[in-house]
Amino acid sequence: MITLPQGFRLAVATADFRDKHQDRRDLALALSDVPAVAAGVFTTNLFQAAPVQVARAALEAAGEGAPSFSSPRAMLINSGQANACTGEAGLEDCLATLDMVGAAVDLPASAILPASTGVIGARMDLGKWRVAVPALAFSLGHASLEDFARAIMTTDAFPKLSGAEVRLEGGPVRLAGVAKGAGMICPNMATMLSLVLCDAAVEAAAWRAMFRRAVDATFNRVSVDGDTSTNDTLIGLANGASGVRAEGGDLAVLEEALTGVLGDLAYMLVKDGEGATKVMHITVRGAATDADAEAVARTVGHSQLVKTAMFGRDANWGRIVAAAGRAGVNFRPEDLRVSLCAVELFRDGRPTDLDFDALLKEPLAGTDLALELVLGNGPGTAKLLASDLSHAYVSLNAGYRS
């Protein structure tokens, strides 16, 4: 059971954006009753959905000064309609939903950060919003973190939540995070959304910096299929409602907890990647630089050949070695060492003499596979979580009619 940080309330409702006439929640709101500092990380795709443009602008406008009642302290997520590739009209629709929800829960529209996931290229149905928003407002304070996590799901197989409580000098503070899937979203793209709530009191600049670093170390270190959505959004809100200040050495304690929560969520995203049966925990060490190590980790983690080999439970050192060798990174081939589930596969430019099939039969049947590459070329390291590539991935992504 993950505790909701103090000073936050959650709400969910059913708008039936998917026209399925099911009582499935598809609208979710989280808000802080007091001013909060807000951090955001967004898709790097050139195509940015209307809610991404609006949320990004709101965070910029708020700046890094002390928060006011009208600066961002809420996040509103709808699933089923992505409001991407909808032009100027899409921006107006997005602002209209913020006005609607703001009026219903007594928040300035500028305090609400929007995010959407679902079908792209189609306008949102504001009629459905009008019907659902009163129910959303009514549920405020009655929804749980799990309700919230379920309402933002699309093709996710399970809700994704994580939380932490850490003791700072002034007392305990709480963090809670929810996320939705890195798999392909109906109908067009992977959308990844996440929200982390925190009741510590922290300066805006410090919160934003630690959020950015924590995202870099976690969400930016996963690979499902290498595609990037128009809607990817991660938001972090810290409202100080615990009355405990995070400053000085406590900042590092808070950042570690934040990184842990985001790391849990990122792991769940990979595990729930479409059709995924395995999570590869790739570690690259001994590169000239961290950037080199990351390039090798990404090339191995993105390789369709490595991914299918893992799905097939095959200790295919040749595909791993070949992927490392084409990463555009310089190292001496004879220095490379590769281990899978702690069994050394490759060393001195050739496979080792171990009986891979016998040693790895059991480990490769598991879900979590540790893959380590050592380049022998310097101090650079990187980690990456990557899914495998299965028949189910092809079925899910070829079977869909856009």
Number of residues that bind a copy of itself (CB under 8 A): 65
Cβ atoms of 360 and 340 closer than 8 Å: yes
97, 117, 191, 218: which one is catalytic? Answer: 191
Helical segments of 197-331, H only: 204-217, 250-271, 290-302, 304-311, 317-325
Of 109-128, binders to a copy of itself (CB under 8 A) are 120-121
The minimum distance between CB 40 and a copy of itself, in angstroms, equals: 19
Of 330-359, binders to a copy of itself (CB under 8 A) are 330-331, 333-334, 346, 348-351, 356-357
Cβ proximity to a copy of itself: between 17 and 393 the closer is 393
219 touches a copy of itself (CB under 8 A): no
User: Is-catalytic flag, 86?
Assistant: no
CA distances from 131 to 17, 97, 98, 126, 237 (A): 11, 12, 14, 9, 28
Nearest to 229 by CA among 324, 97, 316, 115: 115
155 touches a copy of itself (CB under 8 A): no
Binding mask 26-45 for a copy of itself (x = CB under 8 A): ------------------xx
Cβ proximity to a copy of itself: between 45 and 70 the closer is 45
Sign, CA dihedral 183-268-132-47, equals: negative
CA count, 13 A, side-chain hemisphere, 376 = 11
Which of 309, 343, 369, 384 touches a copy of itself by CB under 8 A? 309
Nearest to 158 by CA among 306, 238, 330, 273: 273
Cβ atoms of 136 and 102 closer than 8 Å: no
Which of 184, 195, 270, 364 touches a copy of itself by CB under 8 A? 184
How far apart CA 202 and CA 108 sit, in angstroms, is 22
Which of 71, 79, 154, 316 touches a copy of itself by CB under 8 A? 316
233 touches a copy of itself (CB under 8 A): no
Residue 330 pairs with which residues in a beta bridge?
A: none
Q: Give the footprint of a copy of itself on this chain (CB under 8 A).
A: 44-48, 84-87, 120-121, 184, 187-190, 225-230, 302-305, 308-309, 311-312, 314-319, 321-326, 330-331, 333-334, 346, 348-351, 356-357, 389-391, 393-395, 397-402
